[in-house]
A and B are shown apart, each in its own frame.
Chain A
Amino acid sequence: MIRAYRTPIVLGVIALIVIVLFGVIGSEGDSTFRISTSGDFFTVPDFVLPSRGTALVLGIVLLAIAAASALLVRRGGRVRAWVLAVFGVLAVFATLSWAIAGGTLPMTQLLQGSLALAVPLVFGALGGVLSERVGVVNIAIEGQLLAGAFSSAVVASLTGNLYAGLLAAAVAGALVSLVLAVFAITYIVDQVIVGVVLNVLVVGLTSFLHSAVLDSASNSPGRLPQIEIPLLAQIPLLGPLLFEQTLIIYLMFIAVAIVTFALFRTRWGLRLRAVGEHPQAADTVGINVARTRFMGVTLGGALAGLGGAFFTLGSVGAFSQEMTAGQGYIALAALIFGRWNPILATLAALLFGFARNLASVLGIVGSPVPSQFLLMLPYVVTLIAVAGLAGKVRGPAAAGTPYIKG
């Protein structure tokens, strides 16, 4: 009984926290949200809101949503995802207006930074979706990202061509996942173990090559230029975010669309999902299970590898040891939080990116929250999201189980 009310209860608690902590106790002063940047088409004036009043009003709205969803559950309904999304946005806004009281928050840079931090997560999660949807658990996302980062830097430096670097990143990611595929599918080794071992292997291999082989000539690929789409790039807020980015980020948008379409709207995708849900049935109707799995896993690896290129070609401009810093594991969490759905996983990755960037921004504007707590923010958000709101998630039925014909 109480389980059905879990979502309304979580929402109610959050609403009360907002009202008491940010509204009643609150902080004095105005919070300024800056929308426009200098290059914009037309200028949107800064939003200036009284910090405490805003939090109070938003808190009451949040409480109303919580109450409405409790009523809905009582009548036997389910709280819809869009309600949760609206609730989340309002709650974040209330938190922001509290945290930046007396200061100015440039929204464009906040969102730009969030997107940048989310890019490897999105690619990693997409790679994971393909691999797990076809029935192979992919713990090796971290290794694929790192292999992609390494090879893109080396190949782009040696050939002097950044696009060759991108290609190399995809190939390296695919190679790592091919190892996963051979062990998991052909030799039926436990998929989780192979994944973990691969991560450690890639860390060791790239770190060794980095310190033993690479020099400044083979590790200075440069960075991809920003491609500005005329006119569109000058729309306030959205312009710099969506239309003034590097090729990798445009590729990311395209990849999300293609993976979603291919997975749910094509025969190819149906077969792939069938293999992940019920390989025996798929085999019975003549689908080659092993071959489909090889393809799904390898394609997934190529995508994750491409994400790795963001670290080098998209951002830093050189490889350094363990530069992926555990992002592959966060991508894995995004994938699960996104219920193995490419669009939801992308949104989850964006949420992680946002939480992480928000933590730095709050540290900079000098919020009342201690820095150690801010560093925890992305993970707290994850816990609340997964435990409180995502509800029961069910992965592909056959993920992790090898298929033995006969």
Chain B
Amino acid sequence: MNITTRKRALALAAFGAASALVLAGCAEAPEETTGSGDGADNSDFVACMVSDFGGFEDGSFNESAYAGLLQAEDELGVTIRETESTSEDEYVPNVNALVGEDCGIIIGVGFALANAVRDSARENEDVNYAIIDSALSEDDFTPLALDNVKPVLYDTAQAAFLAGYLAAGVSETGVVGTFGGNPFPSVTIFMEGYAQGVEAYNEAKGTDVQVLGTDSFVGNFEDIAAGQTLSEQLIAQGADVIMPVAGPVGQGTGIAALASDDVRVIGVDTDWYANPTHDEYKSLLLTSVEKSLQLTVFETIEAALAGEFDATTYVGTLENEGVTISDFHDQASAVSDELAAELDELRAQIESGDLVITTEGTPSA
């Protein structure tokens, strides 16, 4: 074997081995598992799910959606298949890989998957889809509705509003902070609602609590160290309550808060207090702005299983418990009874429609 062919063969072998490992590692072939729980046997119904690049163990919304899928496996006895994306170029192949798997429903998790789901849904009109946390739109952003895609949206601003009001009430420095991963609509809606909550507090109490960072973004949902640095800057500017809207990057905020005095953190997507990922600083968690992805995913699968799939948009609100803020846990002593009562009052007003929170990204059913 001369040098050139040997070189080429080796390069090929290396590339082959690497791709095989990568494929095995991340864009893994759909796993097949059948329900082992006490539910009925519906194993011919296949519920499928694709994560975004955060993966199913992001301690955040992918994980929460996946919990809904597992719950469906357990309680409804359906077969589940999932593919985990690790980068953005895997969305289209991952969604398409599931099309061939006879899925009763394919659930795309996250804003980032919207276009992959849209294109796949157009080509496969007999397959039902749901897209979590995003509406559908054309490439030029004209809104779009397809008969076989159910958009699942959360009016997170309602819950974030309460969190903002709470943050302003708890803050001792008169400065609270937030930041995002990327300026996605599903991210900025948290930040806007939060800022409006602070504003509402200022109006009610005649205070002047500032919100910093409503225009700050890390630029990704991975670099936790950068999230830590950004949070340190917020703390240096006086912020003593911070809500990071950046998936795992929010862990950086927890770490920064640990190193400072009297800084509290507001979790997002799930109740961080209950998640081991956030154990180290859970005593500093003031509350979490929750989206009940697990519940919604479960219900969506349940409906599809019963043959009741419809393409109407679901909007999670405080009223239907699609969004909420969690308990104050260890920080309960920091929240005065008066403040807690005001929050309950505001919650009731939002639920009844007397108080309407409008942001740029507020979803409409």
Contact = CB atoms under 8 A, between A and B. Distances in A.
Contact of B212 (A183, A197, A318, A364): A364
A116 B229 contact: yes
Contact of A203 (B57, B86, B177, B279): B86
Given A109-B233, A197-B14, A325-B226, A203 B22 contact: yes
B75 interface: no
B198 interface: no
A366 B215 contact: yes
A211 B84 contact: yes
Nearest to A120: B225
Contacts of A200: 18-19, 22
Contacts of B23: 204
B26 A106 contact: no
Interface string A174-199: 00000000010001111001100110
A364 B237 contact: yes
Contacts of A252: none
Given A316-B255, A364-B212, A364-B216, A321 B222 contact: yes
Contact of A211 (B11, B57, B236): B57
Contacts of B234: 364
A104 B14 CA distance: 54
Main secondary structure of the interface of B (DSSP, over half): helix
Given A106-B237, A189-B10, A204-B24, A321 B217 contact: no
Given A110-B233, A117-B229, A364-B237, A371 B25 contact: no
A103 to B, nearest CB: 8
A356 B225 CA distance: 12
Chain A CB count within 10 A is highest, among B11, B53, B251, B255, for B11
A194 B12 CA distance: 10
B135 to A, nearest CB: 21
Task: Report the contact-size class of chain B (Cβ under 8 Å from the partner).
Answer: 35 or more
A207 B18 contact: no
A363 B215 contact: yes
A341 B229 CA distance: 28
A120 B223 CA distance: 12
B236 A106 contact: yes
A17 interface: no
A322 B232 CA distance: 22
B86 A322 contact: yes
Task: Report the contact-size class of chain A (Cβ under 8 Å from the partner).
Answer: 35 or more
Given A201-B18, A208-B24, A371-B183, A364 B177 contact: yes
Contacts of A223: 255
A187 B22 contact: no
A106 B234 CA distance: 10
Chain B CB count within 10 A is highest, among A106, A194, A203, A325, for A325
Given A112-B232, A203-B22, A366-B212, A375 B7 contact: no
Contacts of B7: 187-190
Contact of B223 (A325, A357, A364, A365): A325
Contact of A361 (B19, B21, B233, B280): B233
Nearest to B237: A364
A193 to B, nearest CB: 6
B58 to A, nearest CB: 8
A284 interface: no
Contacts of B212: 364-366
25 contacts: A113-B230, A187-B6, A189-B7, A194-B14, A198-B18, A200-B19, A201-B18, A203-B22, A204-B22, A211-B56, A223-B255, A311-B224, A311-B225, A316-B251, A317-B280, A322-B53, A325-B226, A327-B223, A360-B216, A363-B213, A363-B216, A364-B213, A374-B215, A374-B217, A404-B3
Interface of B: 3, 6-7, 10-11, 14-15, 17-19, 21-26, 53, 55-57, 84, 86, 177, 179, 183, 212-213, 215-220, 222-226, 228-230, 232-234, 236-237, 248, 251-252, 255, 276, 279-280
Interface of A: 104, 106, 108-110, 112-113, 116-117, 120, 183, 187-190, 193-194, 197-198, 200-201, 203-205, 207-208, 210-211, 216, 223, 310-311, 314-318, 320-325, 327, 356-357, 360-361, 363-366, 370-372, 374-375, 404
Per CB-CB distance, the 9 closest pairs between chain A and chain B, nearest first, are A208-B25, A363-B216, A204-B22, A109-B236, A204-B25, A325-B223, A315-B225, A201-B18, A113-B229
Given A204-B26, A208-B21, A325-B226, 6 more contacts: A205-B21, A320-B224, A360-B230, A364-B179, A371-B217, A374-B215
